[in-house]
Amino acid sequence: MADNTCACPHCKCVLGKNAVMKDGKGYCCEGCAEHHAHGEPCASSTGCECAKSAHA
């Protein structure tokens, strides 16, 4: 329980109040929780490129 960063492989966002729990892992947003399956951008808009990386 020490690590509160998003479980999305390329995301380094810290889990906040919008965090989504899925399969026992914490994601910072719905997009990450769905592994950006539909190209959803990361909710943390400050230059996080995890959504792009997911489609590489």
Q: Which residues bind Zn ion (CB under 5 A)?
A: 6, 8, 11, 13, 28, 32, 42, 48, 50
Q: Minimum Å distance from CB 17 to Zn ion? A: 14
Amino acid at 56: A
Q: Is the CB of 1 or the CB of 55 nearer to Zn ion?
A: 55
Closest to 12 (Cα-Cα) out of 48, 36, 45: 48
Q: Is the CB of 25 or the CB of 50 nearer to Zn ion?
A: 50
What does the alpha-carbon distance between residue 53 and residue 4 come to, in Å, rounded to a whole number? 21
Q: Is the CB of 13 or the CB of 37 nearer to Zn ion?
A: 13
Residue 21: enclosing H or E segment and its boundaries? strand 20-22
